């Protein structure tokens, strides 16, 4: 009897069952705690997942357009009038249909990531108080998905109106930007920003970010004017292709000039080493992008090379945002118990 009692917990439940239930709860908690009880590190991981998910959906969306699959599913929200999933449609190949439908399916993991990021940011309460700045940035993820779904639907129903295609791309770039800023802000305090470089250099980084955004906008006009507008029947911008291409190239040269000025200015100032490294990385990325751009132009716009060019532009967009954010730091508000983003690094360097 004593042995039987020893094998049972309170309420007569066998100890083995209690241990199994505890193990099950631990296994579930491993997946739910980063969202329902997030730490700064777990929130950063989710924010990084949002950056990756948004960059991937932009890249695959461009693959749809550049493969002439923009009307592979000619209806919305269904693929065709008669089918919710991929089905053969008049004037579309099976491959075009599945490319477009596959891109639509990728929105489901994007929705999941966006929802998890928002829930985690809402639940994140360092020292008992919610970080509203993080909540607003995280809210941009599900809100962006909803707006993009509406714009995407109108885009399909208007048979790839080029202006809406441009809006669709730039909205995606904006949601991606919010995810990048969220990822950076998760590691910072919530106090006011303090520049870590000279004012003129910080202005130049802001100008560089604005120029990259202008480059993205000009790129959508080039694609919407040329032969890769998503479908052979899609309408185009009524603009001279050579003229808009030249404008796009001019923006690229402007980017390069700013990057060179920044590298020189940062090198001969007291800028932190990581900011100087960002300057060199940006200069290298812009140079590579320029080579790709001229290669695609002189090879008469092969779709694969154009896709590489667009994908690289997303990498540059992420880099320039990180570069701009690196030129300042945010300390914690008094009484929050949070240290500035670089405080731990500085303490370690001092100790060594």
List the one residue out of 77, 249, 247, 61 whose CA is nearest residue 165.
61
C-beta of residue 275 within 8 angstroms of C-beta of residue 319 = no
C-beta of residue 104 within 8 angstroms of C-beta of residue 87 = no
| Alpha carbons within 13 A on the beta-carbon side of 167 | 15
Integer Cα distance of 117 and 136 in angstroms: 11
Integer Cα distance of 156 and 101 in angstroms: 12
List the one residue out of 206, 141, 149 whose CA is nearest residue 177.
141
C-beta of residue 58 within 8 angstroms of C-beta of residue 172 = yes
What DSSP string runs through 2-48? HHHHHTB-GGG-BHHHHHHHHHHHHHHHHHHHHHHS--HHHHHHHHH
Give ∠ CA 305-307-312 in degrees, rounded to 5. 95
Integer Cα distance of 276 and 336 in angstroms: 31
Neighbours of 46 (CB within 10 A): 26
pLDDT confidence of residue 91:
65
**Which tokens is 29 given?**
């908690």
H or E segment to which residue 149 belongs? helix 132-157
pLDDT confidence of residue 345:
37
Classify 74 as helix, strand or coil.
coil
pLDDT confidence of residue 13:
52
pLDDT confidence of residue 1:
45
Integer Cα distance of 224 and 37 in angstroms: 45
pLDDT confidence of residue 240:
92
pTM for the predicted model, two decimal places:
0.85
List the one residue out of 189, 172, 216 whose CA is nearest residue 61.
172
Integer Cα distance of 50 and 138 in angstroms: 9
What DSSP string runs through 176-223? HHHHHHHHHHTTS-SS-EEESS-HHHHHHHHHHHHHHHHHHHHHHHHH
C-beta of residue 231 within 8 angstroms of C-beta of residue 70 = yes
**Which tokens is 351 given?**
């100790």
Classify 8 as helix, strand or coil.
strand
Each domain of the chain, given as residue ranges in start order, spans 35-190, 193-330
Encode the chain (352 residues) as per-residue pLDDT tens digits: 444 444 555 555 565 554 555 555 576 667 788 888 888 999 999 999 999 999 999 999 888 888 888 788 888 888 877 777 776 665 677 888 888 888 888 889 999 999 999 999 999 988 778 899 999 999 999 999 999 989 988 988 888 888 999 999 999 999 999 999 999 999 888 888 899 999 999 999 999 999 999 999 999 999 888 887 777 777 888 899 889 999 999 999 999 999 999 999 999 998 999 999 999 999 999 999 999 999 988 898 888 899 999 999 999 999 999 999 999 988 765 544 444 444 433 333 333 3
**Which tokens is 135 given?**
């909540």
φ and ψ of 340, to 5 deg: -60, 160
To which residue do tokens 């906008």 refer? 217
């Amino acid at each position: 009897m004593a042995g039987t009692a020893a094998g049972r917990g309170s309420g007569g439940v066998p100890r083995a069952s209690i241990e199994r239930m505890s193990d099950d709860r631990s296994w579930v908690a491993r997946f739910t705690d980063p969202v329902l009880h997030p730490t700064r590190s777990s929130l950063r991981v989710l924010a990084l997942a949002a950056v990756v998910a948004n960059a991937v959906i932009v890249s695959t969306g461009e693959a749809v357009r550049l493969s002439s699959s923009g009307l592979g599913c000619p209806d919305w929200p269904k693929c065709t009038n008669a089918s919710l999933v991929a089905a053969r449609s008049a004037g579309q190949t099976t491959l075009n249909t599945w490319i477009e439908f596959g891109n639509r399916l990728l929105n489901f993991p994007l929705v999941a990531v966006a929802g998890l990021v928002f829930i985690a940011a809402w639940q994140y309460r360092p020292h008992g108080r919610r970080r509203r700045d993080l909540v607003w940035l995280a809210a941009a993820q599900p809100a962006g998905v909803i707006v993009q779904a509406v714009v995407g639907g109108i885009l399909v129903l208007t048979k790839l109106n080029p202006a809406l295609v441009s809006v669709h791309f730039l909205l995606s770039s904006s949601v991606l930007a919010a995810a990048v800023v969220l990822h950076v802000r998760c590691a910072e305090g919530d106090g006011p920003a303090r520049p870590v470089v000279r004012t003129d250099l910080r202005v130049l980084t802001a100008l560089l970010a604005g120029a990259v955004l202008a480059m993205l906008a000009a790129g959508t006009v080039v694609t919407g004017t040329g032969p890769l507008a998503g479908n052979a029947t899609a309408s185009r911008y009524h603009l001279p292709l050579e003229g808009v291409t030249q404008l796009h190239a001019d923006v690229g040269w402007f980017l390069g000039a700013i990057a060179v000025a920044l590298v020189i200015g940062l090198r001969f100032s007291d800028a932190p080493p990581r900011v100087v490294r960002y300057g060199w990385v940006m200069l290298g990325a812009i140079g590579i992008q320029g080579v790709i751009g001229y290669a695609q132009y002189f090879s008469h716009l092969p779709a694969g090379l154009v896709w590489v060019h667009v994908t690289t532009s997303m990498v540059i967009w992420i880099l320039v945002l990180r570069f701009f954010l690196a030129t300042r730091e945010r300390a914690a508000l008094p009484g929050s118990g949070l240290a500035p983003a670089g405080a731990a690094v500085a303490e370690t360097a001092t100790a060594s």
